[in-house]
Structure 1
Amino acid sequence: MPIDRPQIYDNHGRPIQYLRLAVTDRCNLRCFYCMPEEGIAYLPKKQLLTYEEMLRITSVLAGLGVRKVRITGGEPFVRHQLPNFLYQLADIEGIDEIAITTNGVLTQKYIPDLKKIGVKTINLSLDSLDRQRFYEITRRDEFPKVEACLYELLDAGFEVKLNAVVMEGRNIEDLIPLARLTEKYPVSVRFIEEMPFNGEGSHYPTLHWTYRRILEHLQTEFPDIQKQIDPLNSTAYHYQIPGFLGSIGIIAAFSRTFCGTCNRIRMTAQGTLKTCLYDDGVLNVRDLIRSGISDEALQQEFIRVFQKRPKDGYEAENNRQSLVHESMTTIGG
């Protein structure tokens, strides 16, 4: 018998079902499109949400209809005792799915824990299959660890999504080799438009590699690539090359074509709620919790801001108090 669960909707009729929860603002890579080479000024630990606070926030949101939680960072596995937190997160009533986004450098040894917890989907950030280009993009020589993690995740039966940011002059030669991974492996390779979240301010006045151009480039090598049905609330356009085991996704992250069905919210590591990737934060949840707010009052605060949600990323960006300048590692990927 199906369980009758509450479901909150925003002011545009979109359900709020999916929480992207950043557990840290720290990262062990220095990807140039995410942060400056010298890194960013990381927040003191006391300014970050504790695990107990994250569990409480998730429980309150589950009571409003959130069913899926994606753990992001920074790099999630940089944070101490993450698996213990994930075991507790999986016990929250109403949470049906936990997913992880990781760069794969530290992930491999935690694969048995992730299986026990019930994590099924792993998003692995990998912008190049070439060790030198990987180093130039990430400023760290960690490709062998990430490659080994990829194949162990596949062997362990995880649904693996490879996230590759498409960058002019950086990794265009990797698009076809990455797509070819789907021939022999049941992996979803997702090509993502570059965004201006590198911690230095908006510096992409023109986006050369739009989702349309990415598709056209793939079609030069795979002219029979076929469009697939996109799942509800999907951020990606889905494709498959006939005869290949895996699939391809193209995410219009900068063009923002998927906003009309967005069911996602973000909680930064410092406890700021973002109802859109492009807003500058709509609610300081950390301070509310530390002021002694009740669960019922916190729930009402969530409902209040959900009813003021911008219709798309362009409206959210226009409503900002300042230009986009933050690093993706402080937002939560």
Structure 2
Amino acid sequence: MPAPDEPPAVPLPEGATPLDATAYLAAEGYLDELLVELGGTREVRAVYGRLVLADGPPRPAAWAANVWLDPWTLPVASINAAARALRSVQRNWALHSVACHRRAALVAQKLPSVSARPLAFPAPAPRAPLGSFSLLDEHTLLASARCSSPFPHGEARFVEDRQGPPSRAYLKLWEALTRCGRHPQPGQRVVDLGASPGGWSWVSAGLGASVLAVDKAPLDPAVAALPGVEQRIESAFALDPAELGPVDWMTCDVICYPSRLLSLVQRWLESGNCSHFVCTVKFQAETDHDVARALASLPGAQLAHLHHNKHELTWLRLGN
């Protein structure tokens, strides 16, 4: 998710060299997608495993799990020197190791511990600054005090509910809502498209919203019985948003080609009836970068690969 528009400047340790670049940590398994998004290997300065260093300020990068916004390098004579340099900047750091793994782990051991406890939804995302660092070689530290994600390496983890939801898909919506800092509220109206078996409807109903769950397949009976849940057995694509009247949230985890989701989203936007959107863009064998760019270009849109996404992206658009 995007970093704040004007974050406060963070002082560098003595002797550090700012890189005038941005480092993008590819989502696990999606380095190729990130490189395409950044313009190919000719557009990047270096690639360290999943970490891609590209010249210039941060640019939109949906396939990046985390973005190191102000990377710098520093020659360090020892493990202690590396740890002292990091502590001189701020308290919290997460190691993403790309080289000299044992030595990097020893540096991390000399830093204050960062809580790895999973988040209990709907608790807010951590607010304390969290930087990222690595060793490029035995005596070169690469670090950025500011990163786009409040979670180590962009990996949002939650206290899972293994009883209520009918599938683990609910974690995607938990993560999307946590990252954007907005939730369906009691009394708000949610239309959940492609709802079956009901994981996303379960989330919204649990937050107190009124949910219209639309799918050709039925909901899990336990979800269908939740207060405020209405089930409509029909295609998500046949539903006319104009007939529904005002809707606060449209959520969609439907299985379809990305181009079809784009058309669906455009139709809902044109109706003007919905304020907030959270949709999963599901790719088939190949990643449709053209449709991803089209979705990202829609006014007010955010596009991101969440930790709980697979070969998918999450498209969000939040109103006032």
Instruction: Please report the TM-score for the alignment, with normalisation by the length of structure 1.
Output: 0.27
Query: Which is richer in helix?
Result: 1
Report the structure number with the largest CA radius of gyration: 2
Query: Which is richer in strand?
Result: 2
Report which structure shows greater RCO (CA 8 Å, sep ≥6): 1
Instruction: Please report the TM-score for the alignment, with normalisation by the length of structure 2.
Output: 0.28
